[in-house]
């Protein structure tokens, strides 16, 4: 079972990886310096330092699945009643 708070969803569009929102600065549709083919290597155990181009924050990607990057960094705060992350 993977720690959900260390995951972040990604999308592949035309052989590029995007995240819908940056977990650090909230930038939308961030193009990641990662290629889809690298995901398989990461899944095989090769860790990858990922630098978000929007704000230069760094995480290490330690695993991937079809929808999520698993990192060594807590990207999501615990679900709290005070803050809703629902988008329209
Ligand atoms: Zn950012």
Residue 82 belongs to some domain of the structure: no
Residue 80 belongs to some domain of the structure: no
| Partners of residue 53 on adjacent β-strands | none
Residue 64 belongs to some domain of the structure: yes
Q: What is the average per-residue pLDDT within 64-76? A: 95
Which pTM value belongs to this model? 0.83
Residues whose Cβ atom is located within 5 A of ion ligand 1: 22, 24-25, 27, 52, 54-55
Ligand 1 centroid – CA 9 distance (Å): 14
Residues 6 or more apart whose CB falls under 8 angstroms from that of 10 comprise 17, 18, 19, 32, 67, 68, 69
Q: What pLDDT is stored for residue 2 in this prediction?
A: 74
- State which residues form the domain around 43: 4-71
Q: How confident is the model at residue 79 (pLDDT cuts 50, 70, 90)?
A: low
Q: What pLDDT is stored for residue 77 in this prediction?
A: 82
Residue 85 belongs to some domain of the structure: no
Ligand 1 centroid – CA 60 distance (Å): 15
């Amino acid at each position: 079972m993977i720690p959900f708070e260390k995951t972040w969803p990604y999308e592949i569009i035309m052989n590029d990886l995007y995240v819908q929102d940056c977990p650090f600065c909230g930038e939308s549709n961030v193009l990641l310096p990662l290629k889809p083919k690298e995901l398989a290597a990461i899944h095989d155990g090769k860790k990858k330092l990922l630098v978000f181009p929007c704000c230069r924050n760094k995480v290490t990607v330690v695993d991937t699945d079809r929808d999520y990057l698993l990192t060594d960094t807590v990207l999501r705060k615990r679900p709290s009643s005070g803050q809703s992350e629902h988008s329209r």
